[in-house]
């Protein structure tokens, strides 16, 4: 939209001449026949520039200019004063009243247009600066709210991570879950490596220990194992008393799930020995067995509207659980498939074919004793 120029002059001939010149150059022109009317038009029309005659019967140009400058909303409005009086003397008065420029009558049209263009460029630049200042002020006004929302989201993430694996919590809080066809939490098939671990001697322990002692041991055990799980990017499927199920390669895909699972299990047994020695001093004889298998499973959200978990279902979970049950204190029993992926990385010994409940054929298994 073209700039709007207000012409204030009590001489109709002058008004028409200025209006015609400016309109011919594409400017919008509004007019006022005196100082008071000019001030009213400034407020009503909100022009981009004012051409202001000095000598007017009701309110001279100096008074009009001072009134324009007195209001914050028009303090920077470009004003060009026009007069037929002594240019030198009137220029000083005009500038002192707050005028931006000065033209002498008779008006030189090229000079008029040049001064209008120059002042409108300044006005446009100032308007951009003001707009940016308003945007910055709006941004500052909402900054506190955005910070509060960010803190709330961080707190929400912290709470979720207490009940879910970090990978699942990230997907939920980040809005990925529930987004449609690519929702990673919807039911899907994927090959995963499953790890089960539980304590040997735990049943005998809870029969003689106080409930507070049992909860204290579980707290230490879950805390130590949970730290190792997170360090190795495992997804915790569930805690069940002394049992923990973890899987790899879902919902975040990784290149070497079997290797990650085995490295985690070796680290777990090493760290568990420290826990076990401390418990032994308190009279608790507890050890840990681990089972690891790899295969395809169906994964996704399970449960109902008021309570949901992220789970894996399939023979691979049963196999890892059975291997864990058969593992003796300190052992890490892995399936043939898992051993095939890590054979070059670990020291291991075959334990023969195990008759695993739920599987028709004996299952070859290996006890991983460490890294090479």
For residue 214, how many other CB atoms are within 10 A of its CB? 17
pLDDT score, position 222: 93
Question: Is residue 162 in a domain?
Answer: no
Tell me how far apart the alpha carbons of residues 85 and 186 are, in angstroms, rounded to a whole number.
Answer: 84
Question: Is residue 161 in a domain?
Answer: no
332/235 same-domain check: yes
Predicted confidence pLDDT, tens digits, the chain (372 residues): 689 999 999 999 999 999 999 999 999 999 999 999 999 999 999 999 999 999 888 999 999 999 999 999 898 899 998 887 666 677 778 888 888 888 888 888 999 999 899 999 988 888 888 888 888 877 777 776 776 776 666 665 555 555 455 666 666 556 554 444 456 667 889 999 999 999 999 999 999 999 999 999 999 999 999 999 989 989 888 888 899 999 999 888 888 999 999 999 999 999 999 999 999 999 999 999 999 999 999 998 887 777 677 789 999 999 999 999 999 999 999 999 999 999 999 999 999 999 888 888 999 999 999 999
306/217 same-domain check: yes
pLDDT score, position 177: 46
- Burial of 64-80, coded b for 16+ CB within 10 Å and e otherwise, reads bbebbbeeeebeebbbb
72/212 same-domain check: no
Q: Which residues pair with 249 in a beta bridge?
A: none
Question: Is residue 251 in a domain?
Answer: yes
Question: Is residue 144 in a domain?
Answer: no
121/206 same-domain check: no
Crossing angle (nearest 10°) for helices 211-231 and 257-281: 150
Q: Whole-prediction pTM value?
A: 0.57
Counted domains in the chain:
2
For residue 366, how many other CB atoms are within 10 A of its CB? 23
DSSP 290-306: EEEEEEEEEEEEEEETT
Identify the CA nearest to 37 among candidates 62, 17, 56.
56
Mark out the alpha helices in 236-311 (DSSP H runs): 257-281
Name 117's Cβ contacts closer than 8 Å, sequence gap at least 6: none
Cβ distance 250 to 296 under 8 Å? no
Tell me how far apart the alpha carbons of residues 126 and 76 are, in angstroms, rounded to a whole number.
Answer: 8
The CA angle 79-84-89, to the nearest 5 degrees, is 75
How far from each other are the two terminal CA atoms of the chain, in whole angstroms? 77
Question: Is residue 170 in a domain?
Answer: no
45/107 same-domain check: yes
Q: In CATH, what number is assigned to the domain containing residue 100?
A: 3.40.50.2300
Tell me how far apart the alpha carbons of residues 81 and 90 are, in angstroms, rounded to a whole number.
Answer: 9
Identify the CA nearest to 351 among candidates 359, 369, 342.
369
pLDDT score, position 129: 84
187/45 same-domain check: no
pLDDT score, position 158: 57
197/339 same-domain check: yes
Q: Which domain holds residue 276?
A: 180-371
15/126 same-domain check: yes
pLDDT score, position 95: 81
The CA-atom distances, in angstroms, between 204 and each of 199, 201, 243 are 11, 6, 15
The edge-to-edge listing of strands for the beta sheet with 49-53 is 28-32, 4-8, 49-53, 79-83, 101-104
The CA-atom distances, in angstroms, between 58 and each of 251, 261, 265, 346 are 81, 92, 95, 102
Tell me how far apart the alpha carbons of residues 7 and 336 are, in angstroms, rounded to a whole number.
Answer: 94
Look at residues 100, 130, 160 and tell me which one is the last residue of a structural domain: 130
203/89 same-domain check: no
Look at residues 70, 104, 130 and tell me which one is the last residue of a structural domain: 130
Strand ranges, E, within the chain: 4-8, 28-32, 49-53, 79-83, 101-104, 188-200, 235-240, 243-248, 287-304, 307-313, 332-335, 346-354, 363-371
Question: Is residue 146 in a domain?
Answer: no
Identify the CA nearest to 290 among candidates 244, 259, 258, 256.
244
Q: In CATH, what number is assigned to the domain containing residue 259?
A: 3.30.70.1230
Tell me how far apart the alpha carbons of residues 40 and 19 are, in angstroms, rounded to a whole number.
Answer: 19
201/349 same-domain check: yes
Q: Which residues pair with 80 in a beta bridge?
A: 51, 101
Question: Is residue 201 in a domain?
Answer: yes
230/350 same-domain check: yes
Question: Is residue 163 in a domain?
Answer: no
274/348 same-domain check: yes
């Amino acid at each position: 939209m073209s700039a709007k120029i207000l012409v204030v002059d009590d001489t109709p001939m002058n008004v028409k001449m200025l209006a015609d010149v400016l309109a011919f150059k594409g400017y919008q022109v509004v007019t006022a026949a005196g100082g008071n009317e000019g001030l009213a038009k400034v407020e009503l029309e909100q022009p981009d520039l004012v051409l202001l005659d000095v000598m007017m019967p009701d309110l001279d140009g100096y008074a009009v200019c001072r009134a324009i400058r007195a209001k914050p909303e028009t303090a920077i409005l470009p004003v060009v004063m026009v007069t037929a009086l002594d240019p030198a003397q009137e220029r000083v008065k005009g500038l002192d009243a707050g005028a931006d420029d000065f033209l002498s009558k008779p008006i030189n049209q090229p000079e008029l247009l040049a001064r209008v263009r120059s002042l409108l460029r300044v006005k446009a630049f100032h308007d951009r600066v003001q707009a940016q200042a308003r945007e910055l002020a709006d941004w500052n006004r909402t900054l506190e709210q955005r910070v509060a929302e960010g803190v709330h989201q961080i707190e929400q993430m912290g709470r979720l991570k207490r009940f879910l694996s970090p990978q699942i919590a990230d997907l939920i809080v980040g809005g990925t879950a529930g987004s449609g066809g690519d929702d990673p939490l919807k039911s899907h098939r994927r090959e995963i490596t499953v790890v089960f671990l539980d304590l040997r001697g735990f049943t005998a322990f809870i029969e003689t220990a106080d409930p507070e002692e049992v909860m204290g041991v579980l707290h230490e055990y879950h805390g130590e194992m949970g730290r190792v799980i997170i360090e190795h990017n495992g997804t915790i499927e569930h805690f069940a008393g002394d049992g923990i199920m973890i899987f790899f390669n879902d919902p975040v895909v990784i290149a070497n799930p079997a290797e990650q699972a085995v490295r985690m299990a070796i680290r777990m047994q090493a760290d568990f020995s420290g826990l076990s020695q401390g418990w032994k001093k308190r009279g608790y004889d507890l050890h840990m067995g681990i089972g690891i298998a790899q295969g395809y499973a169906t994964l996704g959200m399970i449960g109902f509207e008021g309570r949901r978990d992220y789970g894996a279902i399939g023979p691979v979970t049963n196999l890892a659980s059975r291997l864990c049950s058969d593992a003796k204190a300190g052992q890490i029993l892995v399936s043939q498939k898992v051993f095939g992926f890590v054979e070059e990385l670990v020291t291991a010994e075959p334990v023969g074919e195990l008759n695993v409940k739920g599987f028709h054929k004996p299952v070859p298994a290996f006890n991983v004793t460490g890294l090479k």
